[in-house]
Structure formats: C-alpha cells, structure tokens
Structure 1
Amino acid sequence: MSDNTTATALPLLPSPTVQAERLVELGVHGIAGLDAAALLDFARTAEGTAGAGALLAVHPDRAPASALAPLLRREDRAGFVVVDMTDVDLFAPVDAVADLPDAPLYLVDRPDRGDEMANWSPDEALPALTGQGRTPLLLTEGIHWVLQQPAALEPNHCFMTIGSRLRKANGALDARTPAIWISNGTGRDGRERRGAPKVGWCWAGNRHTWLGFGSTGGRH
C-alpha cells in the first residue's frame, strides 16, 4: 500500500430509485425482510427530498454487515469479512451517530471518503469530523456506498467507517475500528481474494496512509 496514486473524483450517486433497483437486483430487500415494492416505493417518494448524491441505506438491524459484504464485487471477486471479525454484526452506532433514523430505510446525505484525513488515526478523526458538523459512516452504510459505487474503493484510497464500534461488557469501546478496503491476497485472505473488497478492522490509535474516514452531513 505504498503507491501514492492520485484519487479519482467520484461522480454523484444515482437517484434513490436507481439505487433501490440495484438493491432489489442484489436481493437486499429479501435480506431485510422487505417487499421489493416497499423498497421501490420508499425510493420514489424520496426523490423529492433527497439531496444530490444521497445514499439509500437499509438499517443495520435489518441488513447486517455479514450479509451485505459478500454482495460486494471488484474485478469479479466477491467481498468478504476478515476471518478474525466473526463479531462484525455486533458493531453498533457510536454516540456521534445520533441521527440514525428509526426506520428500515433512510437516506444518507452525500457520503465523503475523507481522503484528506488519510494517515490520521480513528481517535484523531472522530473529534475532527464532529467538529466540522459531520458524522462518521456506519459500516453498513459504507458497504451500501460501495454496492452502489464500486469506484469508492481505489488502490491506496479506501476508507474507515468509525461510526460503528463494539462495546465491551463493561461499556468501554473495543479498540477495533471497521474499515473497507481492497485485499492484497496475502495471509489469511488467500491469494484467490487478491483485489476483492474487504471488510476488516484497524486499531483505534493507529494511522494508515491509504485509509480516509467515511462521513456524511446527516441522515433522514
């Protein structure tokens, strides 16, 4: 991950209706226990209120990360969750994500990959984001983004989703912070997964030059 390639400017996400059609095509409505018609109806209604580039998301309680990650594709390789993250679905919204709608479907205002925060640690990035009036993406929101826009993952330009964290029994946060990047096919990933989208984790105090911090200006 030492290549310093320049990040590509991402186009706006398509309309909520186009995104809903993509989710139906992938079977996400079935994972979430929703009728395809209900998903499409929500998207059509949202057309009038969604800002440019808004992301259509399914609530993590309905469509967990473990079910969404295998739907990711890059270079004909399926996405996956790292083997030492069997508790991935227990990662829940942090206090900074106070605007998560209590609804099966919602919109995430235009997500940003946070490339300018590459080589920051999660511990450094969270207060900076909240100080800007932004909120970090949930892991499931990040996956939804890449499902709709695979180009959101680029070599050396991927992102963390620190809106999701795991709480220990004593209430303290687990030190792992989730991220989505591209596997290099080494170690336990396996050579056959080289180039595949990968859901993994990093330590909250560590910095990585190739990981920004996904965020949004709000949800509704």
Structure 2
Amino acid sequence: MIAALLLALVGVALLSLCLGERWDSPVDVVRALLGQQVAGVSFNVTVLRLPRVLTALLTGVAFGLGGAVFQTMLRNPLASPDIIGISAGSSAVAVVAITMFGVSGAALSVLAVLGGLLVAAAIYALSWQRGVHGARLVLTGIAVGAMLDSVISYALTRTQVYQATEALRWLTGSLNSAFWDGVGPSRPRPPCWSRSCWSSRVASRPCSSATTRRPASASGPTVHGWRCWSWPSP
C-alpha cells in the first residue's frame, strides 16, 4: 500500500510538472530536472512549476504529521486539527484580522498560529473532567469548531467585497505565488518534524495495551503530559 501511494505521488508530481499553459513531455521535464537546458522547458519546470510542486508536497507532509499526532495521542481516527476545531480557530482569527483590521503578511501568519494554539488550549480545558478522554475532547472540538465557523461566516458577510475575497483566498490557499524563496519557510522544520514523529511513536507505546487513558496512566507514564507536549506539533 505504501509503495503504491508513493508511486501515485511521484506520478501526480510528474504530471504537475508537465502541465501548464502548454504540455511538456515527461522526457523533457526529466531532462530539465537533471540540469540539462531544454529550450522552452527548463524555465517553466525549474523556476515556475517545481517550487509549486515542492510547496504542495511539504505542506501535505505537515498536514499529515498533524493528523497522525492527533490520532495517535487521542486514540481516535476522528481526531485531526480540521475536525476538532483547531484549524477553525486559526481561520477565525485570520479572517477577523483581515476583514476588520486589514492585517496581512507575516503578522497575519503569526496571529493565525497564536489563534490555533489558543483554541487548542481552550478545547483541552473545556474537555477536562478528572482528565481528558479522547471522545469527549473530539466532541468538544467539533462544537467549538462549529462556533468558530459561524464567526468566520459573520465576518465575511459584514465586510467589503475586496476584503472578503482576500479572506477567502487565505482560507482556501493558493500555489500561484509559490517560488523558491518560499519553499524553505513552507517546509516543516526539522525539530518540529522529528518531535512530531518521535512523540507520537513513543507516547503511543504506553497506550498500546489499552484504548483508554486510565490503564495507560496506571502503567506509569503521565499521559496528559505527553498530550500537552505534542499538541499541536507541526
């Protein structure tokens, strides 16, 4: 299965490098990737298309790590940042900042990250009742996410068309402006990457003998500490 997924990923990436305003043959694309100068192909592939493909791949890796850590720590396949409200928290803060205060650029990214962290802490606190159970946390996150979605809708309906368009563009994302200078900042940082993989792997071992928090806690590890340390990782 993994080999098939990797093969499909390589195929889609190669197809993306071939597609554009015009079709470039896979042979010419591979030659351009190997450093050969192919008239009408090298610039399109190495300067325009390759940064977009790499940005998309690295962003997908970050999303995958986030979902893997959440599902491993909470022992629930529904636990992912987009379902339990953390993504909605970042989006709500960003949309309000764009539509009401005209924030943009790096400041907007910082506010979105802080909003996601704040919402994650709020969800964890609201779901605490002599500990945090995975199902309770997921349900709390879904409720908080629904509330924040209403905040996003309200902000979009109360602003100007131009600002609403900017906010929608931020929500959906775009690779149109992805160039080589943005590939580095978009990749998952090695410390975050390694911490996400290591924490999800190690912290899941004490819980492998049980599906609930209490037996895992009885075996020695402080489960809440592991969860807080890994939340949110990427």
Q: Same fold (TM over 0.5)?
A: no
TM range (shorter): under 0.3
Structure number having the greater strand percentage: 1
Q: Greater share of helix residues, 1 or 2?
A: 2
Greater radius of gyration (CA): 2
